[in-house]
Amino acid sequence: MSAQVITDAETALGHLERLTDVLRADGWTVEVAAPEDRRPTAIVVNPRMRALHEHVIAVREESGDGWAYFYGWGEKIAPCTDPFGAAAALGRVLASRDN
């Protein structure tokens, strides 16, 4: 009998894919990168002003077994159980004046 082990990188990627689905449904441009030597990252781009973009990672929280989305600079966005809240926060950060 074989056992399947899910790594933190695979779990993080799953969380990012759920966030990506929400963001794309709202019209954002998103690319997910999962290089072997780094954390999986979602690059979220404002399609109206491509210079406005953010890197997002999913990280296991230190205070338990929960996961959260974080900006590339380390600020928490929202728990991974709330991809809609994370998408709304990203939308506010990446909004241009004409959005």
| Close Cβ partners of 52 (under 8 Å, ≥ 6 residues apart) | 45, 46, 94, 95, 96
The pLDDT tens digits for 33-83 are: 988 888 899 999 999 888 899 999 999 988 877 999 999 889 999 999 999
Characterize the bridge pairing of strands 76-79 and 41-45.
unpaired
pLDDT value of position 99: 47
Helix (H), strand (E), coil (C) string for 83-95: HHHHHHHHHHHHC
Q: In whole angstroms, what is the distance from residue 98 CA to residue 31 CA?
A: 23
Rounded to two decimals, what is the model's pTM? 0.87
Based on its alpha-carbon atoms, the radius of gyration of the chain, rounded to whole angstroms, reads: 14
Model confidence at 3, pLDDT cuts 50, 70, 90, reads low
